[in-house]
Chain A
Amino acid sequence: MSAVLEIEGLRKTYKSRRRGVRNALDGFDMRVETGQVHGFLGPNGSGKTTTLRTLLGLIRPDGGRMAILGHEVPAALPTVAGQIGAIVESPQFFPHFTARDTLSLLANAGQVPATRVDEVLELVGLRDRAGDRVKTYSLGMKQRLAVASALLKNPKLLILDEPANGLDPGGIREMRSLMRDLAESGMTVVVSSHILGEIQLICDSVTIISLGRRVAFGPVDEVLAAHSHGTVRVRLDAAEDLAAAAEVLSRNGVPVARHPDHLLLNGVEKPAMVNRLLAEHHLYASELAPVSVDLESVFLELTNTAPVPGQHRQVDESVRIGGAEQSGRAGGGWGA
């Protein structure tokens, strides 16, 4: 499968007298295949928006390589801009123009047929409010307008930064459905969001960024599988046998966590081996089930941003891979 978007070793450094040198992007890599819905995840300040802005020519990178639809950017951005639809961060429009005016001006600037304006207004559900000034819109309606502006060009690559911001539950579901439809029509969608349940539902693949570096990537199933740690839940016929079972398993090198009515085992590659061990000691399992992980737990583990009782994590505190330090304020991106 060919790549619609490729980023290799992208670097962006901000220098400030007060804060010193900070690497918003620290050799970041990313690859998105054609026709996928790709989730782009990362904690606040991890470099997501900096990546998207750099990709779209709004920020000048300090190093690395980027390509969109096979063209090196930012050099070839004027050539490929007509095939990229994007919203970056919160939707921002001139408040005194109507939605129709806003889209019409963009369509004119991009030499898009005027008929496309009504099509995208219909698509995002703003048809009946198209004549209202943008300043009267709710956040969710502005978000819809932003998506409409990104869709105007009927792009091959659609980049949506937090598209569900401000949307009501119905709107979130519509957005999910819209993204799937667009992907089925051949459009590649890159979506950045903190609603990880949504990402898990709609994305084919993900990239997770932390402190300006990629910490995980690939198809969603593979990322989840890679971080499930072979966790298995074991219940026994008799709850009083749990202590004996825990001892047997521990003796055989299986990490065990005891719970009142079950055991949680880690690093189990073959659950059948657990069953055999227990049976050899006349202990019989009534349940032996692999525990599935979700994207949120993988994200929190990878980025080391899970809340800890009694602690207040700061936005720059996140995981750094490839170093001894697993967390800290090692220089993450405040530019994102």
Chain B
Amino acid sequence: MASCGSGGGIKFYEFLQFVPGLSQGNGVAADNCYSAWISPVRGKAAVTTGPNSRHLQDDITIAFTGSGGSGVIAVGEMLLRAAARVGFYGLLRKSYGPQIRGGESAAILRLAPQPVAGFADGIDLLVVLDWSHFSRFGDELILGTDTCIIEDAAAGVRPLTVPAAVSILTLDFTGLAGTLGSAHNNIAALGYCGAWLGCSAEQLVASLNHRLQRQDSATLKLAAQVAQAGMGLAAEHPPPLAAPQPGRPEATRWLATGNQLAALGALEAGIRFVAAYPITPASDVLEWLATHIDKTGGRLVQAEDELAAVNMAIGAGYGGVPAMTATSGPGLALMAEAMGLAVASETPLVVLNVMRGGPSTGIPTKSEQGDFNLAVYGLHGDAPHVVLSALSPADCHFTLGWATAIASHYQTLAVVLSDQLLGQSMQVLPAPPAMPFQARLDRAALPPVDGEHYLRYLDTGSGISPMAVPGDPGAMYTADGLEHSIGATPSAGAGDHQQQLSKRQRKLMGLMQSEHWAEGVEQPEARLLILGWGSCYPVALEAQSCLEAAGVPVNVLGVRLLAPLPWEALQAQCAKVSQVLVIEQNHQGQFARYLRGFGLQCHAYHRPGPRLLTALEIQQQVEALVDA
């Protein structure tokens, strides 16, 4: 229902089919649990062929706005949970300022009868609890003339920027809650919207109880009364908008954020040590791990700073225990020196970077893709390492698992780039299949680590050297950030340096055989490829749907393996079309510059956050290119 460009009709793509084939010959552990769940397509890239014709009949986008602390994020989460119980799929993103209380805050919710992986451009229903900070969202919440606004009677003065043509319904959520002795107008709004979506009182109360589980029973009872009063209001004054219809999902569904799914993926793939230093928007990854890793026998340490965090993870990794840390841009910059140490000492290490606006403190609560250069180029010296990007909230699970397996198999650093949009969005998704990856030091296939002739940094055919861990008798060595010989003796010799640099580069070439490097959707007669990474991939798929409706078939590819880049495989994808448009959410077009360095001829469209890239603007870019 939300506007989606000039082409009209709205389309929808399925929850990302993110595992269309298992690893083949790259040595990364895998089993066949995904086989019943995934697209059967196999090949050099995980690309599905055919129309992106999953038309969304009944999607709707609802936004709640108010001041920080007024509970709009809570309403969004509770409504998503209740709507999911009715049968909707959905996706919720949170937009808020840096203030803990009193700033601006918004929850944007897209619901549909089928899985939802990305956001629509416009808003169908805007629920305003407080207008006072609305202008700060001026360019993030796009109101169309067909947007319907429900405002609380106590929301204050409506800004002049609100289009005159929109329909506005004023309802007294505050007064309604007040008559029951509650200050929670947000709960009244929850009841109102929930009733309109077809939620029962029971479903709404279950959502309330889940969210407010630490409150006492009197508070819960009052909240339930306020929600039911809100439901009554919906019966009297429904929104002037047709209610969407839920689906009838059969599969087991989950409700989780990208950050939670990343954390789960890491644990399921075998991470057993986490070093943590809080930073928005990565803290919730660490907080989830803190409350769950103990159950696996693992450990989490809150470090004194990011320098300590990354070095603690390296210490654990050296000890043979799969280890990770999670951070955001400034923290990644602090970790950069030790990331070079992980490369040189060949210590397995996973670093999850949940990107926010930068540089410096930047816009810490909002999304951007500005850390590409830091992740790919930020290490000192010649330091080949792995950089992955998660392609949806749900894909955070898969990508963290893959990163964990890569780090231990290749004894190297794997950086995963997520962002605030992926990490803090909450998604209703089909339950992921069992984790196909496991962290494993591949010791069986390598020369023995015991005996007198143990050579830690032996230059093997694969480039992967036999890694002993403390406790292995007869294989004592000192892991070193100093350049070293094959026997781990410090060396300043040109020959040793050349040999170790080449070995560390060569060992990652095994990744070139993996089909997990990208995901995509191809269409017949496509003449143009939209190429994106990370959270731009769902936007590209949304644009593809809109373009299809406008009669412009395009291919879409989302790159998961950013470095080392499988350049030949990417070239093959690009050769299927006559034009390539690279899209990303940053100011400089960092990914496009990287690709041009390989020799790719491409157009680039990029814009900084926090205003998210929209399908409409990508559609317009594509149409301009096709017309030209």
A-B interaction: no
